[in-house]
Structure 1
Amino acid sequence: MSLFKKHPLDLPAAVIAGGAAGIVSGLVKLGWENVLPPRTEERDATNPPQTLLEQFGVPAKVTHATYTYAGHKLPWVSYVIHFGFSTTFAVLYQIVGEKLPLIKKDAGTWFGLTIWIAFHVGLMPAMGTVPAAKDQPTEEHVSEALGHIAWMVTNDLVGAEVYRRLVAEKHK
């Protein structure tokens, strides 16, 4: 049995499917964090996307810019980073997963956990964006690990279905 799929990749369909999946999964991850918040209110006053941008020299007046909806001030800059991350990894997952199905094992559960470990346990603590993994509360690890699983399973399900439909449309 080959590690790689032999069928041709429909790259435009994979990009569209991954993009659609990334938007939906980004909404799922935001919803998840409302049910199981990963950070304390104090640590969320400047959230990781805002902190990261500030580390790159973007001023706080930009990183904390908001829009108001239904009386709530919402951090649009954080959302740009959140959905940019989500769609980038969803597109990558869709493209690579079409050729290397191993990354889609268990509906992307392991890929999601790998992304969580790489970013929340490794890269962001190393950059000082979030505290070292040992200094993060258990609740943060639980929320982020389970949230990354829910996020990637959503990418897997939505991306696969959109890709299937787009490819089928081309073969009618």
Structure 2
Amino acid sequence: MPFFKNKDKHSPNIKAAVKAGIVAGVVSGLVKLGWENILPPRTPERDATNPPQKLLQQLGMPESATHATYRYSEHDLPWVSYLVHFGFSTSFAVLYEVLAQYEPKIKAGDGAAFGLAVWAAFHLGMMPAMKTIPDAKDQPAEEHLSEALGHIAWMQTNDLIGDEVYRRLTHGKKE
């Protein structure tokens, strides 16, 4: 039995919603990475061990593993951080797409409200409580701005891509 009552009187296609969420999560993960290149949320010092790396270390993973990189175009890139980043992005995109099948209000602001809720829950609540990042009052305003706006862009990308992929999976391509 679903947690939410389906308000649209259609039978949701959960398999299509999961597929749409996976595609949207990968694309939106790329958008969020790009966003952080334009408006970096953390200082270089705080990014030396980024939040995904710190969280994994808190869970017992050694620094040698959390800071593992691959080399591309003379850049060392943190593949472990990327796994966490895309895992988080894809998981929340799938959750969003599935929940939206039962409660369309979750899509308020084309995902903006959901994105802000995720930002607040993690960046103002859970991660500070776990000491993965500083308390919200100790984070710079630039971090709050970058993360809040980045989460809006991230979730609106999930909304846009997820809707289109779901539509194509359930109704076919536009002619």
Normalising by structure 1, report the TM-score: 0.96
Amino acid at match of 2:165: V
Deviation at residue 106 of structure 1 after TM alignment? 1.1
What is the aligned partner in structure 1 of residue 167 from structure 2? Answer: 164
Determine the C-alpha separation between the residues in 2 that align with 1:8 and 1:105.
Answer: 21
Aligned ranges for residues 8-19 of structure 1 at < 5 Å? 8-19=11-22
CA distance in 1, matches of 2:18, 2:6: 22
How much identity, in percent, do the aligned residues show? Answer: 65
Question: Is the 2:32–2:154 Cα contact (8 Å) retained in structure 1?
Answer: yes
Q: Which residue of 2 aligns with 1:60?
A: 63
Aligned to 1:151: 154
Tell me the equivalent position of 2:28: 25
For 2:104, give the aligned amino acid: P
| Rounded Cα–Cα distance in structure 1 between residues aligned with 2:7 and 2:129 | 34
TM superposition shift of 1:5: 2.5
On the 8 A contact 1:17/1:91 being kept in 2, the answer is yes
Count of matched residue positions in the alignment of Structure 1 and Structure 2: 169
Structure 1: how far apart are the matches of 2:166 and 2:46? 38
* Displacement of 1:3: 7.3
Q: Tell me the equivalent position of 2:85.
A: 82
Instruction: Tell me the equivalent position of 1:45.
Output: 48
Give the AA of the match of 2:20: A
Write the distance in 1 (CA, Å) between the matches of 2:159 and 2:165.
Answer: 10
One-letter amino acid of the structure 2 residue matched with residue 22 of structure 1: G
Superposed CA RMSD in Å reads: 1.3
Gaps of 5+ in 1: none
Deviation of 1:121 (Å): 0.2
Separation in 1, partners of 2:134, 2:6: 38
Moved over 2 A (4+): 2-5
**Structure 2 unpaired stretches of 5+:** none
Deviations for 1:126-161, whole angstroms, at most 9, x for unmatched residues?
Answer: 000000000000000000000000000000000000
**Which residue identity lines up with residue 44 of structure 1 in the other structure?**
D
